[in-house]
Amino acid sequence: MGKNLKGKTAFIVALLVVFCYGIVGIPHGFGPAALKQAITDRINLGLDLKGGIHLVLQVHVAESINSTTDRDVERIQDDLSKATVTGATVGKLDPAHPEAISVTGVSAANTSSTRAILQGVDYNNYDVATSSDGGWKLTMKPGAIRDLETRTLDTSIETIRQRIDSLGVTEPVIQKYGLGDNEILVELPGLDDPARVEDVIQSTARLEIHAVVGTSYESDQAALQALGGALPPDQVLVRGAGSAGNPEQTWVLQRAPVVEGTDFRDAQPSSDQNGRPNIRFTLTTEAGDRFYKYTSTHSRDSATPGSMAIVLDNKVREVASINSAIRDSGEIEGGFTKQQADDLSLMLRTGAMPASISYLETRTVGPSLGAASIRQGVIAAITGMLAVMVFMLIYYRGAGINADLALILNLVILLGFMGFTGATLTLPGIAGVILTIGMGVDSNVLIFERIREELRAGKTAAAAVQQGFGHAWITIVDTHVTTIVSAGILFLFGTGPVKGFAVTLTFGLLANLFTAVFVSRVIFDAILAKKERGAELSI
C-alpha cells in the first residue's frame, strides 16, 4: 500500500511539473515581468483580449458560376469545331442567369453529333434540353451549383488563410460564418499593420488575361455605339489602361479569359530592364499549353495578329501586343510600386480568389480594451477561487484542504493544456475557466457529502472514503460527460469566442475528472495512512 501511494504521489508531482512547464516554458528570469512574458508567450490571447481586427466578408459565389460557364462555353465551341460541326454558336442565354448556356445554328445533319458531345461525360454537370428554335440549352444542375458554391467558399477561406499566414499574423481565426450565406469570419489578433493586411484581403487578385477585340473607346457608350448598340454575349466591356493624356479607356474583351488566377503556379516580384517593379509569373502545364496556343495564333507574325489585356480586379492594367508565342512564363508590368508588386505576387503565389468579396462588418478592438478585459477577468477568477477555497475550508474543515489542493492542480492542468496545444484564450474562455472552478467544487461536494453519509451510517473512515468515491464516481462522470457533449456542440457550430469558451470548458472538465477522483483520493489515502485505526476524519 505504501509503495502504491508513493508511486501515485510521484505521478501527481511529475504531472504538476509537466503542466507548469506548459504554462511558462523556460522563463528568461524569475521576476514578475519575466514570468508574465513567459506565460503570454505560451498562451495565445484571442482578439477580444489582445486587440486586433474583426471582419465579416461576403463571397460573391455567383462570379465563380459565371466564370465556370464562360470556360465551358469555350470548351463546347472547341469540341464542336473538332467534330466538324460548322455554323454553331455557343453563348450565354441571359447575364442574370449565368448557369445557362445556349447552342444555336446546328444543322439537322449535325444534330446527333451535337447531342453526343453535350450529353457526354465532360458536361454531366448540366441538364441538356432542346429549345423551341431547334437549338440546345444547357442548365447547370442544382447539385453542381451547390458544390461549386461550397468549393468557392472553401477555396476563398484557404486563400485568405495562406495570405494572412504569409504576412506572419499569429493565431488568426478564418472560418465560415454561420450567421449568413457564403460569409467568412476573419479575426486577426495583435495586428501590427492592419491597413496592409486589410488591403491584401480586400484585393481579390482576380488576375486574368483576355483577348482584346478591336480597339479602345473613350466610354462604354462609345463602345456600344460602335458595336451597333448591343454587346455580343461572348464579349465584355472593361475600363482601364489607356494612352497618355487619356489614362482610362473602355476595352472590348473576350468574356472568357485565356488565363485566370487559378492557372498561376508561381509569381515573384522582380524589375524590368529600367529597374521598375514588375512581376514574373509561371503558369501550370495545362494553362501554359492553352496560353501558347492563343499567343502563337495571334502573334505579330501570324495570320491573325492581336493583343491581350492584363485585367486585375476587373480593371485593365495593361494591354500588350503579342510579339511571339508565350508558353508558361512571362512578366506583368503596370506601373507598380515595390509594395504593390510584393503584395500582388504574394496573392498570386498563394492562390487567386475564385470570386470577389465585400465587407459586411469591420470592427477594431484596441489593445487597451483587451488589457482591461484580462485584468478584470483575472480579478474575477482569483476572487471567485479564493471565495470557494475559504468556503471549503470552513464547511469541510480538514477535507477542505484536500479540495483546495485539487482545485489549484485543476487550474494548473487547464492552463498547461492550453500552453501545450496552442489554444487561444478569449474573454468567454476566461468565463469557462471560472465555470470550471465551480464544476470542480461541485465534484468535491458530491464526494464529501457521500463520505459524510457513510460516516453517519457508522462505517470507519477508510470504508467511508472508499464508498464515498465509489458511489459518487458515476454521478460525477455523468455530469461531466453531458457538459462536455454540450461544449462539443458549441465548438462545432459556434464562432471564435464561443469556441474559446467550449475549449477551456472541455479542458477544465477533463482536468476536473482527474483531480476530483484521482488526486483527491490519493490525498485522502495519504491522510488515512498516517492516522491510527479508528481515528476520526476531519470532514
So what's the pLDDT on residue 1? 44
Question: At 425, which amino acid appears?
Answer: L
Instruction: Cell numbers for 487, please give them.
Output: 461544449
325 pLDDT exceeds 60?
Answer: yes
Going 295 to 297 to 301 to 305, the CA torsion angle's sign is: negative
Q: Concatenate the DSSP letters of all residues of 248-264 into one string.
A: EEEEEEESS-SB-GGGE
Q: What is the pTM of this model?
A: 0.56
Cα separation, 114 vs 120, in Å, equals: 10
Contacts of 297 (CB under 8 A, 6+ apart): 304
So what's the pLDDT on residue 485? 92
Q: What is the pLDDT of residues 15-29, one digit of tens each?
A: 888 988 888 887 776
CA 456 to chain centre: 58
So what's the pLDDT on residue 333? 67
Taking residues 173-196, report their average pLDDT. Answer: 76
Q: What is the pLDDT of residues 353-393, one digit of tens each?
A: 777 788 888 777 766 666 777 778 778 878 888 888 898 88
**In which band, very low, low, confident or very high, does the pLDDT at 277 lie, cut at 50, 70 and 90?**
confident
Q: What is the pLDDT of residues 38-60, one digit of tens each?
A: 777 777 777 777 777 788 888 88
DSSP letter at 331 equals: E
Going 307 to 310 to 315 to 318, the CA torsion angle's sign is: negative
Q: What is the pLDDT of residues 95-151, one digit of tens each?
A: 778 889 988 888 888 888 888 888 888 888 899 888 777 788 899 999 999 998 888
Contacts of 266 (CB under 8 A, 6+ apart): 281, 282, 349
List helix spans (H) across 133-207. 142-166, 194-202
Cα separation, 27 vs 35, in Å, equals: 6
175 pLDDT exceeds 80?
Answer: yes
CA 170 to chain centre: 13
Cα separation, 123 vs 135, in Å, equals: 17
Cα separation, 404 vs 392, in Å, equals: 7
Cα separation, 482 vs 509, in Å, equals: 11
**In which band, very low, low, confident or very high, does the pLDDT at 281 lie, cut at 50, 70 and 90?**
confident
Q: What is the pLDDT of residues 395-446, one digit of tens each?
A: 888 888 888 888 888 888 888 888 887 777 777 888 888 888 888 888 888 8
How confident is the prediction for the chain on average, in pLDDT? Answer: 81
So what's the pLDDT on residue 2? 53
194 pLDDT exceeds 70?
Answer: no
Percentage helix, strand, coil, to 5, in the chain?
55, 20, 25
Q: What is the CA radius of gyration of the chain?
A: 34
Going 17 to 19 to 21 to 24, the CA torsion angle's sign is: negative
So what's the pLDDT on residue 24? 80
Share of the chain above pLDDT 90, in %: 2
